Each structure stands twice: as structure tokens, then as C-alpha cells.
Amino acid sequence: MTTTTKAKPRERLLAAAEELFYAEGVHIGVDRLCEVAQVSKRSMYQHFGSKDEVLVAMLEHRAPEVMAGLDTAPGAPPRERILAVFDSLAAQAKSPEFLGCPFVSVATELKDREHPASVAAMGYKLQLTAFFEEQARLGGATDPESLGVQLTMVFDGAGAYSVVRGGASPAARAAAEALLAAQGV
């Protein structure tokens, strides 16, 4: 567990939620969450109205970090920035701790598109698509909106592939390169 008792209860809850929801799934109990965070249930409910609120807050907190971790080539030309996202995913997928995209995992586990955590997960996916779309636009793509969605789908598929098969595949980058070439990027 990466949390420390020096951190404030809210931060410990978010750190524990990130670790547990990713490794064990969203259906862990409040008791387990509080035990790992080293906070009382009362403290959890003082900071968050429910376990679902912890989950949503964790996703909202994690999204900017994930985006920053994927955009490893700021300042590079658009094509390279897009391909760097796939290189970053491939590097992460080599780790035995890699369990796929946490946002896709949450939405898939919940099976409810209206659940606040599914909405938060969708928000992240829209950010990723917007990043791809903006880079595609800057790179001169003929249809940046379509390309942004396609690249997100390849990204999500590559993450799922890595979970099912273990490790990364160069096929995701190759697919992204083909999509970019087809759009003139």
C-alpha cells in the first residue's frame, strides 16, 4: 500500500481507492477501503457521502495524471505526440502490474452508463479523444473528429489486448500509424 499515515484522510482514501479499485475492482467494500486507507468509516463519510463518491473523486483526480503520463512528447509535432501515447501505453503494458485502462475497467465493471463513475470515466475518454482530435487537426488530418475516435478505439483495444494476452503488441502503434497516414498526418 502506497498511502502513508502522514497524508490527510481524504488523500489516503483517494490513494487507497486508486490502488484497490484498479487491482481488485469497484465492488470492494467500504470496510476494506477504510482499512487500507487507515481511516474510520466515519471519517470516510465525513469526506465523501458514499463509496461511489470516493470512486468518482478518484477518477477525477487520476485523469489529469493519466493524460500527463500519456502525453510524453509535448512540443513535438502532432504525429509524434499521438504515436508517443501508444509508445507510453506499450511501455506500461510491459509491467506485470498493468491491468488495463482504469477508466474502461470502471465503466465495464459498473455496466451502468448513468452511474456517476461511468460518467467520470467517459469524461476521461472524451479528454483522450479530444487530445487525439486536436493533434490530428494540427497535423492536417482530413477528418480529425473521426480520427480522434478511431485512435481512442485503438488505444482502448490495445489496453484490453494487453490485459488478455499479457504485455504489449506493436500492432497498436502500427494501426495508429496506418490511421494517421490514411488521414495525411
Q: CATH no. for residue 57?
A: 1.10.357.10
Question: Once rounded to an integer, what is the mean pLDDT over residues 113-121?
Answer: 96
The pTM of this model reads: 0.89
**Span 1-9, average pLDDT:** 68
Mean pLDDT of 139-147: 98
Q: What is the pLDDT of residue 167?
A: 83
Under a CB-based contact definition with an 8 Å cutoff, are residues 160 and 100 in contact? yes
pLDDT band at 3, cuts 50/70/90? low
**Cα(98)–Cα(62) distance, integer angstroms:** 16
Let me know whether 33 and 116 are in one domain: no
In whole angstroms, how far apart are CA 49 and each of 16, 44, 87, 92, 165?
A: 17, 8, 39, 33, 38
Residues 45 and 136 in one domain: no
Q: Are residues 24 and 68 in the same domain?
A: no
Q: What's 36's domain CATH number? A: 1.10.10.60
Please answer whether residues 157 and 93 qualify as being in contact, where contact means their C-beta atoms are separated by less than 8 angstroms. no
Same domain, 36 and 100: no
What is the average pLDDT value for the chain, to the nearest integer? 93
Q: How many domains does the chain have?
A: 2
Structural domain boundaries enclosing 123:
51-182
